[in-house]
A and B are shown apart, each in its own frame.
Chain A
Amino acid sequence: MSALAYCLVAWLFLIGIYGVVTSRNLIHLVVCLSVAQSATDILLLEIGYRSGGHAPVFVSLPARPGPAVDAVMQALALTDVVVGAAVTGLLLALVVQLHKRAGTLDPDALRATRD
């Protein structure tokens, strides 16, 4: 179970980077980067997970609620999501301006920045 959970993180990260490397469209590339970044969210939540644990919200709990999962990791995942949104927004703004200058979204066709 442990191996499967952590392999998912490695797979998601690598598949995202693979998408970035092979992308033929800059918007697709930004989405691939978000996929790679979501691996870190899942890793944080997995580190904080506890079998049979409930959310770290102590309201309307059953009589014997059992342990709570790690709230620190959830707070860090929140930070990660916000930073991810900021990065995605900035990159998309760059893509918009790049498309105006270069007239293409294909990274391979950006002659001026190659060689």
Chain B
Amino acid sequence: MSRRARLAFFAVAAAALAMTLGAGLAGLPSFGGQVTAYARMLNRLAPPQRHVTDVVSAISFDYRGIDTLFEEFILLGAVAGISVLLRPLSDEARVLPEDKAPDRAIPPPSPAVWLLAVILSSLLVLAGIETVTHGQLTPGGGFQGGVILASASYVAYLGTNYVTVERFQPAPLLEASDGVGASGYVFIGLLGLLAGASFLSNVVGLGVTGNLISGGTIPLLNLVVGVEVAGGFAILASEFLDQTVVIRTRRR
């Protein structure tokens, strides 16, 4: 199909889509008006019922916890899929980059870059742990904090070099944390069954609202999700970097 024909085809389809979308959007409640009864009920009930102050976390990890279980497994599946797609293919091999000029020393990264990486990555680890552990109190949680934790390793890649970072985060460790995080969610869900309630019931002591340890299983689930997401995103960085650094086409 030529570009012109494709654009014409798109124009017709987009016009039809815009009309359908417009009709659908016009049927929505007016912007800024009343929120649904479900939302009002949850906003009123979640803090006293689950001893949390962040209702979004209570919904994600308690009232609709099974949704988040599937969401977590979507992420696990995607990370596994990317690892499979980016494996060395039949005509490729993993070759560590060799030093072609051993008589010349590799210049170390500039002190400014190194210092910035050290400061930034430690601050990112701190912010990540803070975000993961305070999910039940303030905005944040396992998904957000996990991404912040993984970005600490991205900064470490920038400030040092590939070989150093790979030594500190070996692939088996990352893969294990990805799997342990995902299965941990299921095990915490099974606690509910052991206690005689249903799967993913909040059966752990709820604690005092506003304390760090409060909300029952919500902080525990945030923790395992944080481990999974941090491991998963660190795997992604290392898989994509492998493509440029160590995976080479085998010479015929």
From A74, which residue of chain B is reached at the shortest CB distance?
B56
Compute how far the CA of A56 lies from the CA of B58 in the bound complex, rounded to whole angstroms: 11
CB distance from A47 to the nearest CB of B (A): 6
The B17-73 residues at the A interface (CB cut-off 8 A) are 17-18, 21-22, 25-26, 28-36, 38-39, 42-43, 46-47, 53-56, 58-60, 64, 67-68, 71
Report the minimal beta-carbon distance from B182 to chain A, rounded to whole angstroms. 13
| Residue of A whose beta carbon sits closest to that of B46 | A71
Chain B nearest CB from A7 CB (Å) reads: 8
Contact A50 B35 (CB under 8 A): yes
Cβ distance B46 to chain A, nearest Cβ, rounded Å: 8
| Residue picked from B46, B54, B79, most chain A C-beta under 10 Å | B54
Q: How many residues of B contact A (CB 8 A)?
A: 56
CA distance A38 to B103 in the complex (A): 52
Q: What distance in Å separates the Cβ of B17 from its nearest Cβ neighbour in chain A?
A: 7
Residues of A within 8 A of B35 (CB): 48, 50, 53, 67, 69-70
* Residue with the greatest number of chain A CB neighbours at <10 A, chosen from B31, B42, B85, B210: B31
User: Is B137 part of the binding interface, using a Cβ–Cβ cutoff of 8 Å?
Assistant: yes
Q: A57–B139 contact, CB under 8 A?
A: yes
| Interchain CA distance A68-B56 in the complex, whole Å | 11
Closest 4 CB pairs of A and B: A86-B78, A51-B32, A70-B39, A6-B25
B interface residues (Cβ-Cβ under 8 A, vs A):
3, 6-7, 10, 14, 17-18, 21-22, 25-26, 28-36, 38-39, 42-43, 46-47, 53-56, 58-60, 64, 67-68, 71, 74-75, 77-79, 81-82, 85-86, 89, 137-139, 143, 210, 236, 239-240, 243
Measuring CB to CB, which residues of chain A are less than 8 angstroms from any residue of chain B? 1-2, 5-7, 9-10, 13-14, 17-18, 21-22, 43, 46-51, 53, 55-59, 67-75, 78-79, 81-83, 85-87, 89-90, 92-94, 96-97, 100, 108
